[in-house]
Structure 1
Amino acid sequence: MTHESVWKKIITHACLLIGVAISVFPFYWLVVMSTNETSAVLAFPPKLTFGGYFMTNIQHVLEKIDFFRALLNTLFVAAVSTTLHLFFESLTGFTFAKFTFPGSKALFYLMLATLMIPGQMLLVPQFIMIQQLGWLGSYKALIIPGMAGAFGIFWIRQYAAAIHDELLDAGRIDGCNNFRLYWHVGLPVLRPALALLAITTFMGNWEDYMWPLIVLTDTSKFTLMLALAQLKSVHTQDYAMVMTGTLMATVPLIVFFFLASRHIIAGIAEGAVKS
């Protein structure tokens, strides 16, 4: 190994370490703030070491909001919405990729065109529709309007296009109808794409604030983002308590990410089925 190649490796690893440190520091700072008092959070220079007020801050959060009820509400909405997303988007994307029917291309491009519509423009029409259906204040208003999206369909369609037609022909010989081809042939191959789609969909529902704020009226049905917003006060602000609540809401999301990412890696390893 030459002297020049050694220095290249050192510089590369140094840059990677710096990038990792920059990426991890916000989460580290969140944990530090959660273990200190607000006075330490606002101190200058900032305190970068852990304190001893974590349990106290957790107690303040639990006294201020019904955290665990909001957590269960968010888990329910995110889980149901993600399940519906995966089913309808994978079914539609697989259909666009492997079956042709009159107007299929035009319908697909029309669906892609909806990606150019800003989500904020749809808030008022969706709210009027939800109000007329009588769903205002219910979980149906959070789940049903967004149970399928153009990006997810496009993502699955692009991945499913790589499935060889020979696999489908073998399934037809075994007596599979179109839905069984999707269920028994398509889904196993789409596993990595579904895992990534599950992560993005679940995180999007978990972090959603605007739409639940518009349609939910009962505080007992509030999701975590709405509940965390109640930690803010008009006159005083306990930043340590707010950061602790944010950390408590982030931990389940991190756990879900690592669980789903395992399926992405396992699915990639099994992806040779498509070849």
Structure 2
Amino acid sequence: MSLPAGAVTVPLPSGARAVLAEEVPVALVFEGVTQAVMMASPMDLEDFLLGFALTEGMITQPGQLLRSERVQQDRGIELRGWLDPVASKRFSERRRAMAGPVGCGLCGLESLAAALRPLPKMLRSEAAVPRDPLALEGAEQALQSLRRAQPLQDAVRAVHAAGFWTGTRLALVREDVGRHNALDKLAGALATRGLDPAAGVLVLTSRLSVDLVQKAAMIGARGLIAPSAPTALAVAEAQAAGLSLIARGPAGLVHFTDTEAR
């Protein structure tokens, strides 16, 4: 049987074999400094490195990541990236600012201020789309389309996905064991292909927490569609950033933010 990327077979005590998702430590290294180690699916890793750099604000445009390489280690994978002088200087200053002796321990962040970073304000896009991708009647179609476009999930039943919905179709999909990783991979894939995130919306398989809103806002996304309810903080941050949220409410999908005036 041919397996999709990111899936492996493992033996069971009964003698049968199960198809499971791969989960590998992936170190994201910029300018020789390890920024994060994520447990991730080991495919689309070039997209992952670029997308992470964009959604975390290390670079503001794809060309600032000058080159990258993948290095296989005994226990995982290193993704190494080198930045242009402007981004490199900003990265170094950020590292110095976060090098204090005490950390708050909040999801690995070293300061409480970093947890709620200022987000760019989304402006109304003039990009032409074939159909409004933020219409409620199309949001359910977007979620169903994403579910049908997950070969790894079909094989293992254990991974997340992020897709780019134009209003009529999914233009791109990325899968990963981590919901944040899937969104970072999608961000990188959009940037590599020169696709404007504001020309459609991001569709996720996971709940909407504030960190996913932050990542979407950092790449200039217009909105997010998700199959479960957002957190209150995610709604507040999305509203402040002018990001539309469509997610599951008590009686079906609803708009959680009002961004008509953006």
Specify the TM-score bucket, using the shorter chain as the normaliser. Answer: under 0.3
Structure with a larger share of its residues in helix: 1
Normalising by structure 2, report the TM-score.
0.22
Normalising by structure 1, report the TM-score.
0.22
Higher relative contact order (CA 8 A, sep 6+): 1
